[in-house]
């Protein structure tokens, strides 16, 4: 379902690619081991007072529903299932009005053989350009404290990905970014499909990435499977 990912695209390049106004407090780049509860790069459409400007901002990876008394008041919601997105109380309003894009170079997933420990794989686009996950976001506020948070939307894996893990993030193609953000009318639900095998590449990486303290480009280096 993607519990870690990597991003190396510079902030100014992201702002240009997504035609988004960048915030001043974006997380450092590059990061080869982005973990839940940290601040990540998110693109959303600012519809406040009719403004349709895209914005590139930091958000906590771990969706915080409005009824949580603290950000850790309940389960850590780093992902939202596409199949139930419109029904779950935590996500149903966000899926209608607060959808976002989450850029990445690629993501890690762990496969467990019938016997033995979990083995990490790195999944990235087969072509050029970043990988862009579908997301939903929420602004939480309690006692004067405000926090913007998000979750990735996931769906059932197919093909090669299904051999590694049964869930995969919904990956959006450039022509679909505007529709997911609500800029091009209805139809976002039809985008929540698994990526085809020929759009992704897969390779084994070292178990060093198992540690959330691990850093550096060696984490995505291919090793013999």
Is 2 a residue of the active site?
A: yes
Is 143 within a domain?
yes
pLDDT band at 154 (very low <50, low <70, confident <90, very high): very high
Does the active-site annotation cover 100? no
| Residue ranges in 26-158 assigned as alpha helix (H) | 92-97
- Higher-confidence position of 51 and 102: 102
**Token pair of 92, please?**
């149903």
Using 50, 70 and 90 to split pLDDT, how confident is the model at 113? confident
Q: Which tens digits make up the pLDDT trace of 76-91?
A: 999 999 999 999 999 9
Q: How many domains does the chain have?
A: 1
pLDDT of 46 reads: 86
The residue segments making up the domain with residue 190 are: 4-105+128-195
- Single pTM value for the model: 0.96
Cα–Cα–Cα angle for 116, 217, 109, nearest 5°?
A: 35
The catalytic residue among 35, 83, 95, 109 is: 109
Q: Quote the pLDDT of residue 223.
A: 94
pLDDT for position 185: 77
Flag whether 213 is in a domain: no
For residue 202, is it within any domain?
A: no
Is the CB of residue 187 less than 8 Å from the CB of residue 198? no
CATH number assigned to the domain comprising residue 23? 3.90.1680.10
Q: Give the Cα separation of 141 and 69 in Å (integer).
A: 9
Q: Is residue 113 part of a domain?
A: no
In a domain, 114, yes or no: no
Q: In this structure, is residue 87 part of a structural domain?
A: yes
Mean pLDDT to the nearest integer, 101-112: 96
């Amino acid at each position: 379902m993607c519990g870690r990912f990597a991003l190396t695209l510079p902030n100014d390049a992201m702002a240009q690619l997504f035609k988004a106004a960048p915030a001043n407090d974006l997380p450092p780049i590059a990061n080869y081991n982005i973990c839940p509860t940290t601040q990540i790069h998110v693109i959303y459409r600012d519809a406040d007072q009719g403004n349709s400007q895209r914005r590139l901002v930091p958000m906590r990876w771990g969706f915080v529903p409005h009824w949580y008394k603290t950000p850790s008041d309940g389960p850590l919601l780093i992902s939202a299932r596409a199949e139930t997105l419109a029904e779950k109380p935590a996500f149903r309003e966000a899926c209608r009005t607060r959808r976002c894009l989450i850029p990445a170079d690629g993501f890690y997933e762990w496969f467990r053989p019938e016997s033995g420990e979990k083995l990490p794989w790195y999944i990235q686009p087969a072509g050029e350009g970043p990988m862009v996950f579908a997301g939903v976001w929420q602004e939480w506020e309690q006692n004067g404290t405000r926090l913007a948070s998000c979750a990735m939307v996931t769906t059932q894996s197919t093909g090669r990905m299904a051999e590694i893990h049964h869930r995969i993030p919904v990956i959006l193609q450039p022509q679909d970014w505007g529709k997911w953000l609500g800029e091009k009318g209805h139809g976002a639900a039809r985008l929540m499909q698994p990526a085809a095998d020929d759009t992704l590449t897969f390779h084994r990486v070292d178990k060093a990435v198992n540690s959330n303290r691990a850093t550096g480009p060696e984490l995505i280096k291919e090793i013999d499977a």
